Amino acid sequence: MLKAHVTLDPAAVVAPVSRRLFGTFVEHMGRCVYTGIYEPGHPLADEDGFRTDVLALTRELGVTTVRYPGGNFVSGYRWEDGIGPREQRPRRRELAWHSIETNEIGIDEFARWAAKADVEIMYAVNLGTRGVQEALDVHEYCNQPAGTTLADLRRANGAERPYGIAMWCLGNELDGPWQLGHKNAAEYARLTAETARALRAAEPGLQLVACGSSGSTMPTFGSWESTVLEETYDLVDYISCHAYYEEYDGDLGSFLACANDMDHFIDSVVATADSVGARLRSRKKIQLSFDEWNVWYLSRFQGGPPPTEWQVAPRVIEDEYNVADAVVVGNLLIALLRHSDRVTAACQAQLVNVIAPIRTEPGGPAWRQTIFHPFARTAALARGDVLRTAVDGPSYETERYGTAATVDAVATHDPATGDLVLFAVNRDRAEPVELAVGLRAFGAGARPAGTWTLADDDLLATNTADSPDRVTLDTSGTVTVDGDTATVVLPPVSWTAVRFRKPS
Ligand code: AHR
């Protein structure tokens, strides 16, 4: 058995846990909206046509914030297509995903869904084919209380009270040549500065997100962030990051270590943003919104056949996740949490069907994919402050991401309840790890109060409509305590959360 050690100290605070780290993403893409969150004919649909099974799973997942309506979709979207009487709404060609958009769901319906799901909306405006005026218009429609044409139109459409959307994404992945209205950094920086200035004139307190690179392998990565922030530093609060990971060519060792890449990505964007701040002699710190992240078998998608016909809500990238994918998702959440001083918003992409923790069948069931479990548990347990968490233990070499620690971990401590939670992964493919947890700094009496482990002899096991609970969390794990050291055994390729409590 391998051995590792971690010492936890409530004084070693990185930052408070930002609840917005547990965001997700609903894009008008594939079956995320249509037959995902919305399916009026479904036996479990409510009076608005929303699937109540999906609403329940969304709440169980612990989602706090939902980015909407895209994604690549937003760069060709006319928001006003989705308001007013449904029968008058246009059907449009949707060019990002080559489908038909019926506009049955627009911002009014989505705001109703968000209220039912008890989530905050993070709204993305179209800076691909559109610009400042349309951003102002959708903001007026959503956030202006009353007494202007668009505010009163919202009221006439049934929403008396404004939506009060606080967080606005200024476009999506405009650095990508695939994006409708793709721009170079200088063009995007100018448009974003103009849009941000206009939105702030309308509502000064908004939190605005400028697009960073659509991935750290983009040729313009770094220079894009630098150019954009040079022009928008005082105008925006966040720069975005997007990253998707997958296992390449059976290289599980690298895949399990991909949180190293996320760490490096975050550190690079922080360094770039801070260097711009230094040049501008600003004391302000730009935050990171990691508003698209997940496991996505993108190489399979790129190799697929081109679409041949225009369809409403086609099946697009409905990846089926296995045990290893879930361990990686748990590890990516560990990486996000440990950067809580700078990453204060994040969205797993996406929520339903499209590379998603929740899957549905039209007219049929909804179920939890494997990746649902580490997300839901982390969202439920991570409260209070994130603690600096350094693990002493073995490491291994990876093809893609250099030397990787076998055990990666982070902890949170809630001073209000005294709860201490350790989140850890074992990336070793053969050996369990005995992890000793030093608790001396917590004083006498911190006792284990629950363990949750995701592991399986079959790393390829998945959950399906017929077998929706094949992979779940095991809560039977034991933690032994000797003095002020607790010991937990982490199975090979596993994700574990352990809660400690002081007796009241
Ligand atoms: O989440 C799927 C797609 O990935 C989004 O539409 C886009 O922003 C990203 O490239």
What mean pLDDT comes out for the span 196-203?
98
Task: Pick from 173, 245, 293 the residue to mutate for probing ligand 1's pocket: most ligand atoms within 8 Å of its CB.
Answer: 173
Contact 411, 420 (CB under 8 A): yes
Say how far apart CA 340 and CA 383 lie, in whole Å: 12
The vertex-356 CA angle with 322 and 188, nearest 5°, equals 125
Q: Whose CA is nearest to atom 2 of ligand 1?
A: 71
Handedness of CA 35, 41, 44, 45 (dihedral sign): positive
- 474 C-beta neighbours (distance < 10 Å), count: 14
Q: Which residue type occupies 346?
A: A
Which pLDDT value is given to residue 502?
82
Q: Whose CA is nearest to atom 5 of ligand 1?
A: 71
Cα-to-centroid distance, 178 and ligand 1 (Å): 10
Ligand 1 is surrounded, with C-beta below 6 A, by: 27, 29, 70-72, 172-173, 214, 292, 349-350
Among the ranges given (97-101, 121-125, 138-142, 221-225), the one the predictor scored with the smallest mean pLDDT: 97-101
**HEC readout, 387-413:** ECCCEECCEEEECCCEEEECEEEEEEE
| Digit-coded pLDDT (tens) for 423-481 | 999 999 999 999 999 999 998 778 999 999 999 999 999 999 999 999 999 999 999 99
Nearest-atom number in ligand 1 for the CA of 73 is: 6
Say how far apart CA 288 and CA 125 lie, in whole Å: 18
Cα-to-centroid distance, 341 and ligand 1 (Å): 26
Say how far apart CA 269 and CA 238 lie, in whole Å: 11
Count each helix (H run) and each strand (E run) in the chain, helices first: 11, 25
More confident residue, 427 or 308: 427
Q: CA-CA distances (angstroms) from residue 435 to 3, 384, 388, 406, 457? A: 6, 23, 17, 11, 20
Which pLDDT value is given to residue 446?
85
On average, the pLDDT of the chain sits at: 96
Q: Whose CA is nearest to atom 1 of ligand 1?
A: 349
Give the DSSP letter of residue 73. G
Which pLDDT value is given to residue 306?
55
Contact 307, 314 (CB under 8 A): yes
Q: Using the predicted structure, report yes or no on whether residue 261 has a pLDDT greater than 90.
A: yes
Residues facing 500 on adjacent strands? 420, 448
Q: Using the predicted structure, report yes or no on whether residue 296 has a pLDDT greater than 80.
A: yes
Confidence at 53, pLDDT banded by 50, 70, 90: very high
| Tokens 């050291």 -> residue | 485
- For 362, half-sphere exposure in the C-beta direction (CA atoms, 13 angstrom radius) is 13
Contact 424, 496 (CB under 8 A): yes
Q: Whose CA is nearest to atom 7 of ligand 1?
A: 71
The length of the chain, given as a count of residues: 504
Nearest-atom number in ligand 1 for the CA of 355 is: 1
Which pLDDT value is given to residue 307?
63
- 163 C-beta neighbours (distance < 10 Å), count: 18
Q: Whose CA is nearest to atom 6 of ligand 1?
A: 71
Cα-to-centroid distance, 50 and ligand 1 (Å): 23
| Digit-coded pLDDT (tens) for 110-169 | 999 999 999 999 999 999 999 999 999 999 999 999 999 999 999 999 999 999 999 999
At 270, give phi and psi (nearest 5°).
-60, -45
Cα-to-centroid distance, 31 and ligand 1 (Å): 14
Nearest-atom number in ligand 1 for the CA of 25 is: 1
Which pLDDT value is given to residue 444?
72
Of 237, 226, 366, 244, residue with least CA distance to 298: 244
What mean pLDDT comes out for the span 46-75?
98
Say how far apart CA 73 and CA 66 lie, in whole Å: 15
**Considering the chain, what percentage of its residues have pLDDT values greater than 90?**
96
Give the DSSP letter of residue 28. S
Phi-psi region of 462 (alpha: psi -120 to 50; beta: other; left: phi over 0): beta
Cα-to-centroid distance, 307 and ligand 1 (Å): 17
Say how far apart CA 384 and CA 115 lie, in whole Å: 25
Please, which residues have CB within 8 angstroms of residue 363's CB and are 6 or more apart in sequence?
39, 41, 42, 43
Q: What is the dihedral of CA 349, 358, 297, 348, to 10 degrees?
A: 20
Nearest-atom number in ligand 1 for the CA of 178 is: 10
Task: Pick from 32, 33, 72 the residue to mutate for probing ligand 1's pocket: most ligand atoms within 8 Å of its CB.
Answer: 72
Of 8, 104, 118, residue with least CA distance to 61: 118
More confident residue, 289 or 307: 289
Q: Whose CA is nearest to atom 4 of ligand 1?
A: 71
Contact 17, 385 (CB under 8 A): yes
Q: Could you list the active site residues?
A: 173, 292
3 state SS of 232: helix
| Tokens 């022009």 -> residue | 231
Contact 104, 90 (CB under 8 A): no
What mean pLDDT comes out for the span 342-356?
98
Cα-to-centroid distance, 242 and ligand 1 (Å): 9
Confidence at 179, pLDDT banded by 50, 70, 90: very high
| Digit-coded pLDDT (tens) for 272-283 | 999 999 999 999
| Angle (deg, nearest 10), helices 52-61 and 107-117 | 60
Handedness of CA 140, 146, 147, 150 (dihedral sign): positive
Nearest-atom number in ligand 1 for the CA of 176 is: 10
Question: Which H/E stretch holds residue 52?
Answer: helix 52-61
Percent helix, strand, coil in the chain, to 5, is 30, 25, 45
Q: Using the predicted structure, report yes or no on whether residue 300 has a pLDDT greater than 90.
A: no
**HEC readout, 113-144:** HHHHHCCEEEEEECCCCCCHHHHHHHHHHHHC
What mean pLDDT comes out for the span 283-309?
84
Q: What is the dihedral of CA 257, 262, 265, 268, to 10 degrees?
A: -90
Which pLDDT value is given to residue 352?
98
